[in-house]
Structure 1
Amino acid sequence: MLSTRNHKLGFPFSANLRSDLDDAFTQFFGKSFNGFEGAYSPLSVWEEDSKFHVALDVPGMTKEDLSLDIQDGNLVLTGERKSVENREHLHNERSFGKFKRLVRLPEWADPASVSATLDAGVLTVVMDKKAEMQPRRIEIQDISKSE
């Protein structure tokens, strides 16, 4: 059963609005709403004091299915979720195919420090902030005391 809610203005939408919009766009224009056919992988981006993080959900994928590049100030995450051939689905909500996600890197991110791990279906990319942009404590000199 499809889970739906009514917006406060009375517009009904499902719990997965992005998927519904993509389906409607595909039916009307014949191609995917996000500009890529097939898979969609949600991501999160956050920062800490000295690091920049990106986490991308890629369930069922291996590192061989994924690619990570830095181009023109962007972190470029691409991959392909392969479908099982010769399977006729009675119902399918899983997406398959190629995807590409671009994350604009802030000027303070240091691309030379990038590292990536794949664990339990989550690709995590971490890079340091440039040294001059990291928080640091400044020591205060007390010059009123004479020795």
Structure 2
Amino acid sequence: MTLVKFANGQKNNGLNPLFTDVFDSILNDTFLSERFTAKTPAVNIAETENEFHIELAAPGLSKEDFKISVEKNILTVSAEKKAETEGTDKKYSKKEFSYNAFTRTFTLPESVDYTKIDATYTDGILKLNVAKKEEAKIQTREISVK
């Protein structure tokens, strides 16, 4: 029998607890975490008899911001939006730059017809319809008993 010791909810990575508390407070600061966390859109993927449906939640963008490409069996969806605001107050000029960008990649199965991929963007949701090849579609037929 092996005896395994648990930390009972405490982080213990071999360092002094004060040392880890200092770094936890710096790295988990909301100012830093909001600026440096990667923001990728949530995705829903569904499959029907004839096609795959991919939905990305990407509000605040326009359809010109998206770049969608297929290379071999990799579908890549990326977007970049640059927002500039300018205001003047007394002798000072203030500019604020904001860049929002993301890239999502999807590995497509062999059953996909790469020539029949459609994309629409409405109400903050990018919808991709990826058609299946004819031979990959489920075909049903009735078999008679002899």
Which bin holds the TM-score, normalised by the shorter protein? 0.5 to 0.7
What secondary structure does 1:82 align onto?
strand
- What percentage of residue pairs aligned between the two structures are identical? 27
Does structure 1 residue 50 correspond to structure 2 residue 47?
no
98, 106, 109: which one aligns with 2:109? 106
Match for residue 61 of structure 2?
Answer: 61
Distance 1:74 1:52 in 2: 14
What secondary structure does 1:132 align onto?
helix
Matches within 5 A, 1:1-147: 39-86=39-86, 96-141=99-144, 144=146
- AA at the equivalent of 2:60: G
Shift of 1:57: 1.1
TM-score in terms of structure 1 length: 0.62
**C-alpha distance 107-117 of structure 1, shift in aligned 2 (>3 A):** same
What secondary structure does 1:80 align onto?
strand
The RMSD of aligned alpha carbons is: 3.2
Higher-Rg member (1/2) = 2
What secondary structure does 1:67 align onto?
strand
Match for residue 5 of structure 1?
Answer: none
Provide structure 1 residue ranges, at least 5 long, that are not aligned to the other structure.
1-8, 12-22, 88-94
Provide structure 2 residue ranges, at least 5 long, that are not aligned to the other structure.
1-7, 11-26, 88-97
- AA at the equivalent of 2:107: R
TM-score in terms of structure 2 length: 0.62
- AA at the equivalent of 1:69: S
